[in-house]
Amino acid sequence: MATHQANERRFLDERGSSAALAPNGLNPATIMEKAVRERIVESYFWKEQCFGVNEADVVDRVVAHVSYVGGITGVAQKPSPFLCLAFKLLQLAPADAVLQAYLGRGGERFKYLRALACFYVRLTRPAADVYRQLEPFLADRRRLRRRGRAGPSLTFVDEFVDDLLVKERVCATSLWKMPARDVLEDLEVLEPRVSALGDIEALLEEEEDEEGEGRENGRDSRDGSLESGEERERERDRDMDVDESDEDSRSDRSRRR
């Protein structure tokens, strides 16, 4: 159970922090940059809504206050409620069972709770666990509001998860560098990922076969049209020969008369 201090700055001092390291070996007190941490603990939302909360209270705070994903926003460069609650999770260090509840049943009902849990998993879990836990949500097509220094925008849960897997900075936080998935597959740490579209290689081969058949059908149709055109020309030549023979016969009869 996390110990709540009246002065939250004690958590920021890595020299005096007694918190255990995150599963990926990082110090949870220093995962976020110092400037971001200081903005968070000085913010009104942190002082009013994040003091003395536990893992269950985090769900209530997400439902009541989180309406977009983002980091430092606005002219005043205030930390978003999403970022403050992510920092609170770093302090609470919820167990895997709690995270699964956030991602699973809770995430089905509250999309921003799932986004928050995915963000926390990316910050604290080893690379293999990050891929295993986040990749299933690449099929989540629900919309999310996103707000940054450039202003508000629209995104989706799957796009947000993809950013967590491939980008180096998300929500004003530098993400620790993970090895690429191909590397983990070569090391046999991960199984090859099966796309929701099926076997990509088989789909590409099928598409190439269809294109080849289309080109063959196009050549056949062109050849057929050329042959039909030649036949029409021969028919016209025969008709002209018949007309000329008829005219010659008529002219001969007129001369005999």
216, part of any domain: no
Question: What pLDDT was estimated at residue 167?
Answer: 93
The total of structural domains in the chain comes to 1
> How distant is the alpha carbon of residue 183 from its chain centre?
20
Question: What pLDDT was estimated at residue 202?
Answer: 72
Question: What pLDDT was estimated at residue 16?
Answer: 45
**C-beta separation of 165 from 90 below 8 A:** no
Q: What is the pTM of this model?
A: 0.74
Please report the DSSP string for the chain in residue order. Answer: -PPPPSSTHHHH-TTT--PPPPTTS--GGGSS-HHHHHHHHHSHHHHHHSTT--HHHHHHHHHHH--SEESEETTTTEEPHHHHHHHHHHHH---HHHHHHHHTHHHHH-HHHHHHHHHHHHHHS-HHHHHHHHGGGGG---EEEEEETTEEEEEEHHHHHHHHHH-SEETTEEPPPPPPHHHHHHTTSSPPPPBTTB-HHHHHHHHHHHHHHHHHHHHHHHHHHHHHHHHHHHHHHHHHHHHHHHHHHHHHHHHH-
Let me know if 154 is exposed, middle or buried by CB neighbors in 10 A (0-12, 13-18, 19+): exposed
Show pLDDT as tens, one digit a residue, over the chain (257 residues).
455 555 555 566 555 455 678 898 898 888 999 999 999 999 999 999 998 899 999 999 999 999 999 998 877 789 999 999 999 999 999 999 999 999 998 989 999 999 999 999 999 999 999 999 999 999 999 999 999 877 889 999 999 999 999 999 999 899 999 999 889 988 888 888 776 666 667 777 777 777 777 666 656 555 555 566 666 666 666 666 555 555 555 555 555 55
207, part of any domain: no
Question: What pLDDT was estimated at residue 211?
Answer: 76
134, part of any domain: yes
Question: What pLDDT was estimated at residue 208?
Answer: 79
248, part of any domain: no
20, part of any domain: yes
189, part of any domain: yes
184, part of any domain: yes
Question: What pLDDT was estimated at residue 67?
Answer: 94
Closest to 79 (Cα-Cα) out of 30, 124, 118, 41: 41
The two structure tokens encoding residue 37: 């941490």
Range of the structural domain that residue 13 is part of: 9-193
Contacts of residue 41, defined as CB under 8 A and 6 or more positions apart, other chains included, come to 8, 9, 12, 47
98, part of any domain: yes
Question: What pLDDT was estimated at residue 246?
Answer: 55
